[in-house]
Structure 1
C-alpha cells in the first residue's frame, strides 16, 4: 500500500514507486520464507515508505509520522497480516556490523521522537532491551522489527536495499490466542532452512530472550549488548 502525499506526508520520495515495487517483487518470490509478509502483500496491507539513507536522520520524522498513523489505523480497525516497511535507497554496501549500527541509530531516533511527542510505551511489553519481554513501542503500539539488507548472511534477510519492517506485537498475540502462531512460526522456519541449509539460531519466542537480538539479522554472541536506551523514563 503506497503512502500518498497528504498534509501529514507532504512529500513522497522520488524513488517511492520503484522501491515499493522492488520490495513487493521480493516478498512475492517463491523462495521468500515469511508467510506473514506474503499474506500482507496479498491483502494489500503491506505499507511501504521509501526513504533516502538508513545511516541518516533525514527521514526520521516522516517515518515516525507513518508509524503513528499505522498504529492509529490498527487500533481503529484491528486485523491480521499488516506490516509497515521502510525501504532506504542506500547505502547498499554496508556490512552486517555497519547495518546493525545504522538500524539501532534509526530505532533510537524514532523512539526519542515518540517520547518527544508524548506517546506512552505499550504497557504489554518492556522498554528494557535486556528484558525477555522487550519490544519497541511507537504511537502506543509494540513492534517487532526485521532488518533486511544486501550483505545479510542469512538469505531470508538479504534484500537489494536496506529495509526495516515493523510488525505489530499485537498480531503475534492474536495468532497465539487463535492457536495459529506455532504453525506459522514452524512454516517460516522450514522455508528458511530450505534456502539457508540450517535453521536460524537467533530465532526465539517472545518471553524466552530479548527480541532485540533478532532485529538486525546478524548472529550475535551471548555477550552482545543492545545499544538502545529508552529515553522516556520508567515505562510499564
Structure 2
C-alpha cells in the first residue's frame, strides 16, 4: 500500500505519526465503507494533519493554512480522490451532541479566518447552511466535511480520535460529469448498510437538502438548525 501523502508543513504535531498511522489503518480496514477515502489512500493523496483538541482553537490557524495549501495544490493540478483529514489527539469522551458542537465551532472559526484572509467564497455553492446548495469554502474551494469520533452511533463514523475529513466539492462534480457519482454513492451506501444494518437516513444528494445536516454524523430531525453563519456576507454588505 502506498505511503500516506507527504505532510503539508515541515513542522508537525508530536502525535503526527501515531495519529496518521491510526487513521490510515482505519481507512484501509476491509469494512470501512467509503470507497473514495480508500481510493485517496491507495493513491497516496490522503493528507493527514495531526492537531491537539477538537474543542480548542489552538490549531485553527494551522488547519486553515493546510486548507489554503490543499485548495491551491488542487487548482494547480486537479485530480480525483484527494482528501485532507484533520485528526485531533482528543478529547475522546465527547458524545454525539458535544462532538457536533465542537465540530461546528472549529468550522466557524476556520471560515472566519478565510474571511479575515480575504478569500472569496466558492461561487458554485451557497454560504447559507439552510440552502440545499450549501458547502463550506476555504481558499476559494468548496468542501464537504465528514466528522468521525469514538462515540458515533453510525459505525462508519466511528474512529478512536475526533476527526474532520475535508473533501473537495469539485471532485463530486467531476464524478457526476463522468457518470460515476451515482455508482460510487451506491457502493458506499451498500457497504455502510452491511456494517450498520441499515442505510444512513441523513444522506442526501447535493441540491436536495443542506449537506450541513450530514457533517457531524449525528441523526438530526427537521427542527435542527445549523449553528454556522458566514461572516463574509456581512463584510460585503458593510462595504
TM range (shorter): over 0.9
Give the equivalent residue in structure 1 for 2:73: 73
Q: What SS class does the counterpart of residue 97 from structure 1 fall into? A: helix
Partner of 1:51: 51
Task: Please point out which of 6, 9, 31 is paired with 1:2.
Answer: 6
Answer whether contact 2:8 2:66 (CA < 8 A) is retained.
Answer: no
Secondary structure of the residue aligned to 1:233 is helix
Q: TM-score, normalised by structure 2?
A: 0.95
1:225 alignment partner in structure 2? 225
Distance in 1, Cα, partners of 2:139 & 2:8: 20
CA distance in 1: counterparts of 2:40 and 2:233, whole angstroms: 35
Q: Is the Cα–Cα contact under 8 Å of residues 145 and 167 in structure 1 kept in the other structure?
A: yes
Q: CA deviation at 1:143?
A: 0.1
Unaligned runs of at least 5 residues, structure 1: none
Instruction: Please name the residue that 1:193 is paired with.
Output: 193
Aligned to 1:134: 134
Residue in 1 that maps onto 2:92: 92
Shift of 1:2: 3.5
- Tell me the TM-score normalized by structure 1: 0.97
- Note the C-alpha offset of 1:5: 4.2
In structure 2, what is the Cα distance between the partners aligned to 1:83 and 1:5? Answer: 16
Please state if 1:175 is matched with 2:179.
no
SS at match of 1:151: coil
Q: Please report how far the alpha carbon of residue 233 of structure 1 lies from its aligned counterpart in structure 2 after TM superposition.
A: 1.2
Contact 1:2/1:20, CA 8 A, preserved across alignment: no
Q: How many positions carry a matched residue from both structures?
A: 231
Q: Which residue of 1 aligns with 2:64?
A: 64
1:110 match? 110
Alignment partner, residue 160 of structure 1: 160
For each residue in 1:70-111, what CA deviation from the matched residue of structure 2 results, as whole angstroms up to 9, or x when unmatched? Answer: 000000000000000000000000000000000000000000
Contact 2:8-2:47 within 8 A present in 1 as well: no
Kept in 1, the 8 Å contact 2:213–2:226? The answer is yes
The runs of 4+ residues in structure 1 deviating greater than 4 Å are none
Task: Identify unmatched segments of 5+ residues in structure 2.
Answer: none
